Structure 1
Amino acid sequence: MTALPASAVSGALLIGAVLPLLPFLGRIARLAATIAHEVGHCVVVVPFGGRIRRIDLHADGSGEAWVSLGRVPGAVRWLVRVLNLFAGYSAPLWAGALLVTGAVVGTPWLPVVVLGVVGLVALAFVRNWFGLLVVVGFDALALWVALRPSGLTLLVVAALGAAFLVDGLRSLLQVLRWLLTGARVQTDFHIAAAEMRLPAVVWFVLFLGVNGVAVWAARGPLLAVWDTVVVGVRAVVGA
């Protein structure tokens, strides 16, 4: 499949970027990002011997994931615990970046892999009825992209990727506001603070540092995608 016009992809990205900010559609976009968030918590522990217990999704857009680290070797358990905590807020951002990259390049396979991994893990481990209904809808989208690849599916993928990125950034800004105001909340960073005796703000800074290093390592393809998006946005705005 050939790459779509940059203006078309950028138009889809702009639509997707607005979705998380709308009253009703924002809740739907938030649920999709929450699926990626909770799956991110889970999948990073499996290569080290961890086990996924269950995932719950709630109507308010929140979610919970339970994993067991009992089989993880003691020498690396602390590292796996940190990776588990960091992966939640990282997953929507990196999933969004991969979806946008697939749309910009014009290949459905990268989005299929991303949506497939997230959708299959969620379907296997979501245990509440509301969560299952949400995941079935998510998996239907993944199947559509996989079985009927077209320009339209790539535009939908671009919009979903942008929604993931915006909602992921919105969540981080919300956490930053809570940290600055000292709000009594239970984020991944506060859980880490309670378990490993470093302030939540330190864990937040470490999270930003780790992801900053990852962005720097992947700067080549990320900048190429960014340049394409900028050209497309200018074409859309100029039109």
Structure 2
Amino acid sequence: MGSRFHPGARSMSTSDMPTQEQLVLWGPAAAAFLLVAIGVLWRLSRNVVTIAHEGGHALVAVLTGRRLSGIKLHSDTSGLTVSRGRPTGPGMVFTAMAGYVAPSLLGLGFALLVVGDQVRLMLWLSIALLAAVLVMTRNVFGVISVIATGAILVWVSFYASDPVRDACAFGFCWFLLFGGVRPVWELQVKRWRRQARGSDADILARLTPVPALAWVLLFLVVSVGSLVLGGGLLLGR
């Protein structure tokens, strides 16, 4: 059967997509990549990833029955989560393992919400998680960091226009996905230089028969896998 040509119709290609839709699709990804890839921007934005990292430790500590004492976030973008309980065993292992995978898994989960047209839910959930971290934060810089991040998300959720809200939601997902990969690489660089003897990977090596390098590789597989899966979802959207 031959095809028919309609003078007023034409096929839709990528180049025919509305400009606004292209910006929402690719702009946030590019912006998030630059925030993570450029050193000076990364030093400013990395605190958000640290919040997710320490929040991961805290959440798993609570879920495994440990008593959470507090969270500290420092101006050098490092952080510390203190919990009480058995110094060994599965609870301690899962708590130590949660930090480096938390930003990536959070980004993947948020990407699922965004592609499911649940942008507001994603933003509200982010605000709720930040509020939970804020309650357990025990230093001034940490409180300021969490409040500043939460204030931006509150503004986006309640006051931004729909296109801006969508773009910010996409960008936040991309930032967590990209931002989950770089700290793993930085961790291994510090380990090569013998500057991270107390890292999560080294703690896990002491708690288990698995060497620290294997834990770093596990962190890398989770972070890169989340980036591939989450990125595919966002670009497919």
Normalising to structure 1: TM-score of the pair? 0.76
Q: Does 1:147 align with 2:158?
A: yes
Letter in 1 for 2:146: V
Shift of 1:147: 2.8
1:111-122 to 2 correspondences below 5 Å? 111-122=122-133
Q: Counterpart in 2 of 1:123?
A: 134
Q: Counterpart in 1 of 2:236?
A: 228
Shift of 1:82: 1.8
Q: Does 1:20 align with 2:31?
A: no
Letter in 2 for 1:133: I
Decide whether the 8 Å contact of 1:35 with 1:57 is kept in 2: yes
Q: Counterpart in 1 of 2:188?
A: 176
Describe the superposition over 1:81-128 as per-residue Cα deviations: whole angstroms up to 9, x where unpaired.
221112101111122223344444442234224412430122101111
Shift of 1:169: 0.5
Q: Does 1:85 align with 2:96?
A: yes
Decide whether the 8 Å contact of 1:54 with 1:127 is kept in 2: yes
SS of the residue 1:45 aligns to? helix
1:210-229 to 2 correspondences below 5 Å? 211=222, 222=230, 225-228=233-236
Describe the superposition over 1:19-48 as per-residue Cα deviations: whole angstroms up to 9, x where unpaired.
123344322220001000000001012223
Q: Counterpart in 1 of 2:11?
A: none
Q: From the superposition, tell whether residues 114 and 28 of structure 1 become closer, same or farther in structure 2 (CA, over 3 Å).
A: farther
Q: Counterpart in 1 of 2:120?
A: 109
Q: Identify the match of residue 193 of structure 1 among 205, 230, 237.
A: 205
Decide whether the 8 Å contact of 2:72 with 2:142 is kept in 1: yes
Letter in 2 for 1:189: A
Q: From the superposition, tell whether residues 200 and 182 of structure 1 become closer, same or farther in structure 2 (CA, over 3 Å).
A: farther
SS of the residue 2:89 aligns to? helix
Structure with the bigger RCO (C-alpha within 8 Å, sep 6+) is 1
Aligned length: 214
Q: Name stretches of at least 5 consecutive residues in structure 1 with no aligned partner.
A: 230-239
Decide whether the 8 Å contact of 1:29 with 1:164 is kept in 2: no
Decide whether the 8 Å contact of 1:193 with 1:200 is kept in 2: yes
Paired with 1:206 and 1:90, the residues of 2 have a C-alpha distance of 9
Letter in 2 for 1:225: L
Q: Does 1:58 align with 2:69?
A: no
Paired with 1:36 and 1:23, the residues of 2 have a C-alpha distance of 20
Shift of 1:225: 0.8
Q: From the superposition, tell whether residues 151 and 107 of structure 1 become closer, same or farther in structure 2 (CA, over 3 Å).
A: farther
Q: Does 1:135 align with 2:151?
A: no
Decide whether the 8 Å contact of 1:36 with 1:91 is kept in 2: yes
Paired with 1:37 and 1:196, the residues of 2 have a C-alpha distance of 21
SS of the residue 1:54 aligns to? strand
Higher helix share goes to which structure?
1
Q: Counterpart in 1 of 2:5?
A: none
Shift of 1:60: 1.1
Structure with max Cα Rg: 2
Q: CA RMSD in A?
A: 2.9
SS of the residue 1:225 aligns to? helix
Decide whether the 8 Å contact of 1:9 with 1:104 is kept in 2: no
Percent identical residues: 24
Shift of 1:182: 5.8
Q: From the superposition, tell whether residues 164 and 21 of structure 1 become closer, same or farther in structure 2 (CA, over 3 Å).
A: same
